[in-house]
């Protein structure tokens, strides 16, 4: 593999950013209501320079109040989940790690639901509930996955799957017993869904959280590279393993929690995207983290565009789209790993 240079890093990220921009334009164009791409570019330009021509109102409502915020949310969620997945894969030294597979998404979902039940007036506390749920779950799965002091790959995955089904059962219980509490919308949300616009406040929290989380993880990128060759080896090479682990666990849980509290449990993005990026650009974490963030954004924007359009005007949950693409990849990786 070629060594990573600053030039290559910038070129790669630039390329991915251009692809993302292309996907955003495509996503803005496609939907239940078709919009001509030249008009769109013209109007976007006019809005960008602060033009005064009023746009037709229902057209501007669709593009600027519904489609654009949804695409931005997709970018935030996709980037968060992919970076969380890439981080968990390095930390647990397991190529199959993903917030969804490890049960972290379910923990965050349960945390959000509990927050919604306990303090329904304070909608902005949901991300906090999700964060506590995610942290508790990853801690539990980590201890479940240890065997004689070493992380065991299959035990870890089983621990994650069992935690996920246990947490889903509790969610089911809450939704059945609290039927009068207007939790019906949750069914969609549990599948992973971007169709419900989030409040401006939550979008703020998501944006700040994404930059903070990815930034914190990026400071440990070089250490993660060393950690991949083994914990003991990393310690010998001078890595403060305890600190790195703490930073990455907390940040990755934060990223997962933010994504889940905005859009529910969208699965397999954190698995699919980092692997695709590794195949394309190599496994150096200093490149892999920004590449995964951009790649995750691209994948979610495309998946959500498909979810919006293939059976329009009815919508599919975007989680169904990512699971359809992600589960076969998971099986492929699992088979390859065992051989």
In the complex, which residues of this chain contact another protein (CB under 8 A)? 1, 3-6, 9, 31-33, 47, 50, 54-55, 57-58, 60-69, 72, 89, 93, 95, 176, 179-180, 182, 184-185, 188, 195-197, 200, 203-204, 207-208, 211, 215, 218-219, 222, 224-229, 237, 278, 282-286, 308, 312-315, 337
Residue closer to another protein by CB (options 111, 308) is 308
Nearest to 217 by CA among 189, 237, 245: 245
Q: In angstroms, what is the minimal distance from the CB of 136 to another protein?
A: 27
Q: CB pairs under 8 A, 24+ apart, for 52-60?
A: 59/35
Q: How many C-beta atoms lie closer than 10 Å to residue 329's C-beta?
A: 14
CB closer to another protein, 85 vs 132: 85
CB of 5 to another protein, least distance (A): 7
For the CB of residue 276, give the shortest distance to another protein in the complex, in Å: 13
Is the backbone peptide bond immediately before 313 cis, with ω within 30 degrees of 0? yes
Residue 147, strand partner residues = 150
Asked whether the beta carbons of 256 and 99 are under 8 A apart, the reply is: yes
- CB burial string 152-169: b at 16+ within 10 A, e below: ebeebbebbeebbebbbe
Q: Which one, 7 or 143, has the nearer CB to another protein?
A: 7
- Strands 146-147 and 150-151: what pairing? antiparallel
Taking CA atoms, 50 is separated from 44, 251, 260, in Å, by 10, 37, 35
To another protein, the closest distance from the beta carbon of 198 in angstroms equals 10
Q: CA 70 to CA 95: how far, in whole Å?
A: 30
Which one, 162 or 188, has the nearer CB to another protein?
Answer: 188
User: How far is the C-alpha of 264 from the C-alpha of 268, rounded, in Å?
Assistant: 13
How far is C-alpha 147 from the chain's CA centre? Answer: 29
Nearer to another protein by Cβ, of 22 and 337: the residue is: 337
Nearest to another protein of 96, 134 (CB atom): 96
For another protein, the closer CB: 136 or 288: 288
Burial grade of 309 (CB within 10 A; 0-12, 13-18, 19 or more): middle
Which is nearer to another protein, 1 or 149 (by Cβ)?
Answer: 1
Contacts of 305 by beta carbon, 8 Å cutoff, 6+ apart: 23, 26, 27, 30, 31
């Amino acid at each position: 593999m070629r060594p990573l240079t600053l030039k290559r890093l910038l070129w790669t990220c630039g390329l991915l950013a251009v692809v993302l921009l292309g996907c955003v334009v495509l996503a803005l164009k496609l939907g239940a209501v078709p919009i001509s791409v030249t008009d769109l570019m013209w109007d976007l330009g006019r809005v960008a320079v602060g033009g005064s021509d009023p746009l037709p109102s229902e057209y501007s409502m669709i593009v600027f109040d519904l489609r654009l915020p949804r695409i931005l949310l997709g970018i935030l969620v996709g980037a968060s989940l992919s970076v969380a997945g890439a981080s968990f894969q390095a930390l647990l030294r397991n190529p199959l790690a993903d917030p969804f597979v490890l049960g972290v998404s379910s923990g965050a979902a349960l945390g959000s639901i509990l927050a919604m039940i306990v303090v329904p007036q304070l909608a902005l506390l949901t991300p906090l509930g999700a964060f506590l749920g995610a942290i508790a779950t990853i801690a539990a799965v980590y201890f479940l996955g240890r065997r004689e002091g070493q992380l065991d790959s299959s035990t870890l995955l089983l621990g994650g799957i069992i935690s996920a089904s246990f947490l889903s059962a509790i969610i089911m219980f809450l939704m059945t017993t609290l039927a009068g509490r207007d939790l019906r919308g949750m069914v969609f949300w549990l599948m992973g869904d971007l169709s419900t616009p989030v409040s401006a406040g939550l979008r703020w929290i998501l944006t700040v959280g994404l930059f903070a989380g990815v930034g914190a993880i990026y400071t440990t990128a070089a250490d993660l590279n060393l950690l991949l060759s083994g914990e003991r080896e990393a310690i010998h090479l001078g890595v403060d393993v305890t600190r790195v682990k703490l930073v990455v666990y907390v940040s990755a849980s934060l990223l997962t929690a933010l994504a889940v509290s905005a859009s529910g449990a969208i699965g397999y993005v954190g698995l699919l995207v980092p692997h695709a990026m590794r195949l394309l650009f190599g496994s150096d974490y200093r490149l892999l983290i920004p590449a995964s963030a951009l790649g995750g954004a691209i994948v979610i924007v495309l998946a959500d565009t498909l979810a919006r359009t293939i059976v329009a005007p009815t919508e599919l949950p975007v989680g169904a789209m990512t699971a359809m693409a992600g589960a076969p990849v998971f099986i492929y990786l699992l088979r390859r790993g065992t051989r």
